[in-house]
Structure formats: C-alpha cells, structure tokens
Amino acid sequence: MTKILNGSELAGYIKERQAKQVRALRQAKNVHPKLAIIQAKDDPVINTYVRLKKQYGADILIDVDVHRVQQSEIPELIGKLNADTSVHGVIVQLPLTDPAETDKIVNLVAPTKDVDALGKDAVYDPATPMAIMWLLAGYNVNLPGKHILLIGRGKLVGQPLEQILKSAELDVEVADRSVKDLSSLTQEADVIITATGSPAILYSDMIKQGAVVVDAGVASEEGKTVGDLADEVYEREDLTITPKKGGVGPLTVCALFDNVIRAARETVA
C-alpha cells in the first residue's frame, strides 16, 4: 500500500508552534517580525509561491512586503532593506529575469537577513533542503544504510541538500545534466529526491520496488504547476512518496518562516 509523505499535515503542527512564537515576540518583546520579498520576474509558478508566503505570514502574524521591481533596481532596494531595522528577513525570489546575475545579487543580502540562505555567508539553513529533511524525519524514513539518489544540482535545492546529506555521512549520489542513463541510477536507489523542475523526468519503470520518492521539483506546464514525476508513478502501491500537491512545498514555507522568526529573535537576543 502506498505511503504518502504528507507535508501539509506536518506543516499544520509547525504553523501552530510558529504562531505562538510570533505572538510571544510581539507581546513580550514588542518585536513585529517582517519579511521582504523581492520579485523581478512575472511567472505563474513564482506568483503562486509569493502568494503562498504572503498568506502564510498573515496566518502567523508575520508582515510580508512584496517588492515587484526591475532586476536593475534590486541592488539599491536590497541596500535599503538591509538598513531597515523593521525588516528581519529579505529574500530574492528566483529565478531572476537574467539568472546570470543570481550569485551577485543574492550575496548583497545581509547574512543576518538572508533567510533563504542563498548567500555565500548565510547563517541560516536553506528552506527547501530542510523541508525535505523534516518531511523524511516526520514520517520516520531512516536514511542511514540507504542509497540516496539526488536528481538535480541547482542552487536552491540540489547543492545545499547534497552538502547536508554528505555532512551527515550518508550514502548519496547526485545525477545532474551530464548523466546520460538516468534510469541505471534510479533503479539502484532506495531513496530518490528529485529537484529538477523538468516535468515527468521520472517514470514508474525507473524506480525500484519499495523505494522512497520525494518530488521537490516545480515547473509550469500549460499554465499548471507540476513536479518531476510522471503521473504513472502515482499508480504504484509499493512506494513511499510525496503527493502531487502538499508534499515538500508546505514545509518549505514553514522552514523559511522559521528562519524569519530566528532572525527577529536575534534582534533582541
């Protein structure tokens, strides 16, 4: 029988905890946590994520300001937000219109406000990798002794997650665009974590019996938000798997706001 890794369910418990933490900050410390989101690209997937973050913030009483600007305006805006003591977290919503400038721009965010942990001097944990780890732990998926395949080595998920897994001395292999025969790797993996943003790169016949499959990929296809798994994968009854919606995504938002709360606490520590 299929075991569903329901991130939405876990997120509900985390959200309750965070709401209490924010109330305590507001009432006991007179600190009103605030997140600033900088968005340069108008894209349906990006718009959805920004909307989710704004709603989540409202639910736990964290102010979320969305700044929609041209990419050329971002450096000056980051400077102002870094200097604004009422702002505790600053994120640059990726991808940018010109992705070639990504590293330069995210490194402008002050490390103490870099709640997405994208800068080279980040002091917080990256949100999506931590969400994946929370999800696996929340459903008692034990990783020691398992062969883990990570598909994708992107800046947001793949690279930081690879570092987290390797630092825990786990058996992890990474498949990036240079891999010619992906199926030969996926069929040997006990745990597959995919984060490519390429619709339907993983099919049922590529996955071994009883594997754990975490889809952290997000893409837009014909106006719909889709993941990395082909629909046929969800017909399998032997897998432990994230659902089409409500897997990693809800916990990514939780992890981001955990960092915002930590950043707000640091201002009164």
CATH no. for residue 68? 3.40.50.10860
Per-residue confidence (pLDDT) for residue 249, from 0 to 100 = 87
pLDDT, tens digit (0-9, with 9 covering 90-100), for 23-46? 999 999 999 999 999 999 998 888
214 located within any domain: yes
The total of structural domains in the chain comes to 2
Q: How far is Cα of residue 220 from the mean position of the Cα atoms in its chain? A: 17
pLDDT, tens digit (0-9, with 9 covering 90-100), for 183-213? 999 999 999 999 997 888 999 999 999 999 9
| Distance in angstroms (rounded) separating the CA atoms of residues 268 and 53 | 24
Give the domain CATH number at 138: 3.40.50.720
Q: Do 245 and 131 reside in the same domain of the chain?
A: yes
Range of the domain at 41: 30-110
Q: Do 100 and 145 reside in the same domain of the chain?
A: no
Q: Do 90 and 143 reside in the same domain of the chain?
A: no
Q: Over 80: is that where the pLDDT of 235 sits?
A: yes
Q: Do 230 and 144 reside in the same domain of the chain?
A: yes
Among 53, 77, 110, identify where a domain stops: 110
Query: Which H, E and C letters describe 220-265, residue by residue?
Result: EECCEEECCECHHHHHCCCCEECCCCCCHHHHHHHHHHHHHHHHHH
Q: Taking a C-beta distance cutoff of 8 angstroms, is the pair 142, 148 a contact?
A: no
| Distance in angstroms (rounded) separating the CA atoms of residues 190 and 207 | 9
Helix, strand or coil for residue 219? strand
Q: Over 70: is that where the pLDDT of 157 sits?
A: yes
User: What value does the mean pLDDT take over residues 160-182?
Assistant: 94
Binned at pLDDT 50, 70 and 90, residue 224 comes out as low
Q: Do 152 and 245 reside in the same domain of the chain?
A: yes
User: What value does the mean pLDDT take over residues 45-55?
Assistant: 90
Q: Do 131 and 103 reside in the same domain of the chain?
A: no
**pTM: predicted TM-score of the whole model, two decimal places:** 0.87
User: What value does the mean pLDDT take over residues 222-228?
Assistant: 67
14 located within any domain: no
Q: Do 198 and 94 reside in the same domain of the chain?
A: no
Per-residue confidence (pLDDT) for residue 223, from 0 to 100 = 58
23 located within any domain: no
Per-residue confidence (pLDDT) for residue 219, from 0 to 100 = 60
pLDDT, tens digit (0-9, with 9 covering 90-100), for 99-130? 999 999 999 999 999 999 999 999 998 999 99
Across the beta sheet with 147-151, the strand order is 3-4, 240-241, 212-215, 191-194, 147-151, 171-175
User: What value does the mean pLDDT take over residues 178-185?
Assistant: 94
Q: Over 80: is that where the pLDDT of 259 sits?
A: yes
Q: Do 140 and 241 reside in the same domain of the chain?
A: yes
Tokens of 261: 């709360």
> H/E element holding 132?
helix 127-138
Q: Over 90: is that where the pLDDT of 95 sits?
A: no
Among 64, 80, 110, identify where a domain stops: 110
Binned at pLDDT 50, 70 and 90, residue 154 comes out as confident
Among 110, 139, 173, identify where a domain stops: 110
Q: Do 245 and 172 reside in the same domain of the chain?
A: yes
Q: Over 60: is that where the pLDDT of 2 sits?
A: yes
Closest by alpha carbon to 38, among 97, 85, 86, 120?
A: 97
User: What value does the mean pLDDT take over residues 139-162?
Assistant: 93
Per-residue confidence (pLDDT) for residue 99, from 0 to 100 = 93
Q: Do 131 and 179 reside in the same domain of the chain?
A: yes
Q: Which of the listed ranges 91-95, 120-124, 142-146 does the model predict with the highest average pLDDT? A: 142-146
Q: Where are the alpha helices (DSSP H) in the chain?
A: 7-28, 44-59, 74-83, 102-106, 127-138, 158-167, 182-186, 248-266
